Amino acid sequence: MNTGGLEESKNKSELDQSYRDRVSTVTEKGKRNWVFAEKPKGKFYTLRNYFSFAYFIAFFSIPLIKVNGMPFLMLNFPEGKFIIFSKIFWPQDFIIFAVGMITAIVFVVLFTVIYGRLFCGWVCPQTVFMEMLFRKIEWWIEGSYTQQQKLNKAPWNTEKILKRGGKHVTFFLLSFLIANTFLAYILGIDGLLKVIHEPFSEHLLLFFGLLFFTFLFYCVFAFVREIVCTTICPYGRLQGVMFDKDTMQVAYDYKRGEPRAKISAQLSTAGDCIDCHKCVHVCPTGIDIRNGIQMECVGCTACIDACDEVMVKIKKPVGLILYASENHISKGHKFHFNNRMKAYSILLIILTIFMTVLIASRHSIDTYISRVKGQLYQELPENKLSNLFNAKIINKTNKDVAIELRLENIAGEIKMVSQHQLHLKKEALNQLTFFIILDKKEIHKRNTELKIGIYQNGAKIQTINSTFLGPFM
């Protein structure tokens, strides 16, 4: 844990240093310290409400969207088939995925270096679903955080059974809905509907997969909760190496807040913090942000709202807990773009341009042509020679496509072994075998260069280079 310059500004003996020894959600005896979070209210929480609303609409509706009969997004990992923005990507497009992955990692690192853990609090599905859906259901069924604490201590009476039972049934049904949506991202909505309508015995594996993910989501949102962010998530563990003193983060202005004192004991020498613990009560990871920047902080901004509300009530300026860098708080420096941020930004721009070029130059029909191995040329009547070729053509579109092959740089003939092969099946790898027949007078060396044009509806879509094997000259 990093406490920044907090220690300098306050009397160390006043500090409860136990947060250094264990995470806030574990008691001294090593037991789970359950977080009963208070419902925040304020401008950041209102913004998160709007944002999460749009987020849920997008999450549940994207698998339903189709463009020209193609899913807008489908990530079928088991079959190695991916549809992004209604374009099919195959394992052969691996380079695009690799560059896309690197670009995403650089983006996340750059984002973290500048904006801290804001991604965790505002974008990560774990936090958005936990805080903006499951936690809200919990408040709705079990009441405020104090009522939840009372219910927790209460014996198992009718009220407790009904409330706890209602909550867990709702959580389970929601988890089932989320697991189905995930399945729709993998199979596409048509694939999911097919599984639903066909006999259960034909899709046993998928059914058990669905049950597994339902239980997984249910356990995560009902029991594991903030432990995912504070202990399990590797991105969370990496924060320490990505933060510097210019990184923006949710932070307590210890210069202004300390020495803290209860409102009844406020003296002219006291800081602005009235030690009301409102910021701790709303924290979904159960930490006290006044102890300094901690890895458990997911940057949800709930404590900013809570403290601002207190400041308004006691007629002090808001922003005792604020979104700022350590240098801003300790030295009053405004945000500036440091060298590390500049380097990451340049790298990100280069990767984005490279990625754009790769996607723009990607063919929806990809052809690989090679001469059949181990075969020499064949002598034909009328002073002609032939070579046998194989072509592998991936039709990445969702329609059958008719194509034509033409020799571009030399007079000669392309003779298909079967004309049917020129009708490419949709979303499939099509294999073609054909002869190229040349006049001997066109051949002046052992290997003659060939350019083979691939045409669709009379328009050239690709040119492939190959060679024609002739006799020694």
* Interaction site with ligand SF4 (CB under 6 A): 250, 252, 257, 273-279, 282-285, 287, 289-290, 297-303, 306-307, 310, 320-321
CA torsion 343→345→351→352, rounded to 10°?
-170
- Give the Cβ contact number of residue 247 at 10 Å: 24
Nearer to ligand SF4, 162 or 232 (CB): 232
Query: Using H for helix, E for strand and C for coil, what is the string for the chain?
Result: CCCCCCHHHCCHHHCCHHHHCCCCCECCCCCECCCCCCCCCCHHHHHHHHHHHHHHHHHHHHHHCEECCEECEEEECCCCEEEECCEEECHHHHHHHHHHHHHHHHHHHHHHHHHCCHHHHHCCHHHHHHHHHHHHHHHHHHCCHHHHHHHHHCCCCHHHHHHHHHHHHHHHHHHHHHHHHHHHHHHHHHHHHHHHHCCHHHHHHHHHHHHHHHHHHHHHHHHHCCHHHHHHCHHHHCHHHHCCCCCCEEEECHHHHCCCCCHHHCCCCCCCCCCCCHHHHCCCCCCCHHHCCCCCCCCCCHHHHHHHHHHHHCCCCCCCEEEECHHHHHHCCCCCCCHHHHHHHHHHHHHHHHHHHHHHCCCCEEEEEEECCCCCCEEECCCEEEEEEEEEEEECCCCCEEEEEEECCCCCEEEECCHHHHEECCCEEEEEEEEEEEEHHHCCCCEEEEEEEEEECCEEEEEEEEEEECCCC
Who's near 281: CB < 8 A, 6+ residues apart? 37, 38, 145, 306
CB of residue 24 to ligand SF4, shortest distance in Å: 9
Nearer to ligand SF4, 291 or 386 (CB): 291
Cα dist from 292 to 2, 20, 118, 425, whole Å? 6, 11, 17, 61
Nearer to ligand SF4, 273 or 401 (CB): 273
Nearer to ligand SF4, 274 or 403 (CB): 274
Who's near 375: CB < 8 A, 6+ residues apart? 387, 388
CB of residue 231 to ligand SF4, shortest distance in Å: 14
CB of residue 362 to ligand SF4, shortest distance in Å: 41
Nearer to ligand SF4, 181 or 266 (CB): 266
CB of residue 116 to ligand SF4, shortest distance in Å: 10
CB of residue 237 to ligand SF4, shortest distance in Å: 16
Nearer to ligand SF4, 230 or 386 (CB): 230
Nearer to ligand SF4, 262 or 460 (CB): 262
Nearer to ligand SF4, 88 or 321 (CB): 321
CB of residue 455 to ligand SF4, shortest distance in Å: 59
CB of residue 233 to ligand SF4, shortest distance in Å: 13
CB of residue 44 to ligand SF4, shortest distance in Å: 9
Nearer to ligand SF4, 192 or 300 (CB): 300
CB of residue 128 to ligand SF4, shortest distance in Å: 13
CB of residue 320 to ligand SF4, shortest distance in Å: 5
CB of residue 260 to ligand SF4, shortest distance in Å: 6
Nearer to ligand SF4, 75 or 261 (CB): 261
Nearer to ligand SF4, 148 or 395 (CB): 148
CA torsion 23→284→265→326, rounded to 10°?
70
CB of residue 296 to ligand SF4, shortest distance in Å: 7
Nearer to ligand SF4, 248 or 279 (CB): 279
